[in-house]
Structure 1
């Protein structure tokens, strides 16, 4: 499955790290939270090719896989990939969503007295403002 096909399924872009680091595609749940998504769906990753931007998702229980295609489209045992969302993957309106969407929901808590729109370092506000006025 190509990275482009994956982006079509999740209806979003993959992060840059997915194209740079093979570890992003590992089946190790301790170094990547995204790993839970494909393992929960019954797949594991294999034959990751960062150069060709493709990989194989193998069924954990059946051993069947989706063969990787090279950048020029060559490859064997190519199949049309169609994603069927599990019945639990629906939102309030009933539309189907990919299981990875919202997987981090509830993992970050912002303190009530914290304003995320405030500068991280208030003392920098004057420095940045002065630099922009002086075109530095």
Structure 2
């Protein structure tokens, strides 16, 4: 379980929003809470659609909430999902996080019946391509 007050708040926010996930097809409910540079916690859940490509992952939903709320950078990520294995962001969401987070940002991936996995973004997405590679 989370140890720091910040992680406890992130876990609570991720679990609260995970309960609202719309996952009638996969039945795999995911919640994400982001701590942003403005000190706020933004959360999101997965929202599936019968036309699978138009659904949203929980990470994408949380990032959209952060941007809409005025946050600019992610400073910590907490992902919760079912089971005992850590629920890590998919490849596309790792890249989405990369757009808004430094490589040393910690991502806590938690299957709520097991122990969390704590990795940096760089560990989850090695040799990544980020915004700094594009011309200004």
Of the two, which has the highest radius of gyration? 1
TM-score (norm 1): 0.25
Instruction: Considering Cα pairs closer than 8 Å and 6+ residues apart, tell me whether 1 or 2 has the greater RCO.
Output: 2
TM-score (norm 2): 0.25
Larger relative strand fraction: 2
